[in-house]
Structure 1
Amino acid sequence: MALNKAQRAALREKFGGRCAYCGLPLGERWHADHIEAIDRQWWKPGSPAAKPELDTLENMNPSCPPCNIDKHSMSLESWRSVMQRSNEVLMRDVSTFRRAVRYGLVQLNNSPVTFYFERLAEPAPKEAP
């Protein structure tokens, strides 16, 4: 779906000009991400979507390029699972990261991955009387 200027502007503001996933402010170059992938064959330019019914504005989120590229065509839950394993993968594969952890330069955090749009939807804590 090619977004017109008004649709693109509205999508950008869906989460206050921030990436729906990480929450960082969107720069000039940002992506309109399909929340549920339309399964286009990326290696064949101009190929039709396998799920054209998902090519709608309602199925899009504003995304910074790194989040959209990392998510690729994964479902949100698949992508969340991949990210949740980041500590394990980095500790296994990156000696510089292991050293940074040993010297206290990096602290491991095993909190569940929560996307920015999910944090926005959480109810605000109640104030004490």
Structure 2
Amino acid sequence: MRLKKAEREQVRLKYGGHCAYCGVLLGDRWHADHLAPVVRELLSKQTAGGTWKLVSGKPLRPEHDVLENMMPACAPCNISKGGQTLEGWRAWIARHVESLNNYTPIYRLIKAYGLIAETGAPVVFYFEKEQQP
């Protein structure tokens, strides 16, 4: 879905100009993300230089390609989420603490110096906090 300028602004302001996921204040460069993923079939095409590149194809879930399903997102959140469902992405984020502990010595070191404290808190997205009474 190609958003018109007014629709894009409507999406940006949905959470007061904040990323719906992490809550960072959005700047000029932000993404309109599909909360329920659209997932596009990946097509490749040959460029003039003879190399191949992936291009986005038709949506596999076109019913999700609607304005009501759009969320304002910072680039890191949208790229990280990709085509995952919200619950799948939430679990993926939560698993990264274990991964950092197992495979990243510098993470374990800065944690030992008290610069990072793991809370064990569940992953709660900004838009979920904003909707709570």
Report the AA paired with residue 16 of structure 2: G
Q: Aligned residue for 2:47?
A: none
2: CA distance, partners of 1:46 / 1:33: 15
Q: Aligned residue for 2:41?
A: 41
* RMSD after superposition: 1.1
Q: Aligned residue for 1:15?
A: 15
Rate the CA distance shift 1:34–1:78 in 2: closer, same or farther, 3 A: same
TM-score of the two chains, using structure 1 as the length reference:
0.91
Aligned residue pairs total: 123
1:74 corresponds, among 70, 84, 96, to 84
Deviation at 1:93, TM superposition (A): 1.1
The share of aligned pairs that are identical, in percent, is 45
2: CA distance, partners of 1:3 / 1:117: 21
Q: Aligned residue for 1:107?
A: 117
2: CA distance, partners of 1:22 / 1:5: 24
TM-score of the two chains, using structure 2 as the length reference:
0.88
Q: Aligned residue for 1:126?
A: none
More strand by share: 2
Deviations 1:81-119 (A, max 9, x none): 011122111101110000011111111121011000000
Deviation at 1:42, TM superposition (A): 4.1
Check whether the contact 2:43–2:56 (CA below 8 A) recurs between aligned residues: no
Report the AA paired with residue 82 of structure 2: H
Rate the CA distance shift 1:93–1:79 in 2: closer, same or farther, 3 A: same
1: CA distance, partners of 2:33 / 2:42: 14
Structure 1 gap ranges (5+)? 124-129
Structure 2 gap ranges (5+)? 45-54
- Which runs of structure 1 show a deviation greater than 4 angstroms over 4 or more consecutive aligned residues? none
Deviation at 1:43, TM superposition (A): 5.0
2: CA distance, partners of 1:43 / 1:94: 35
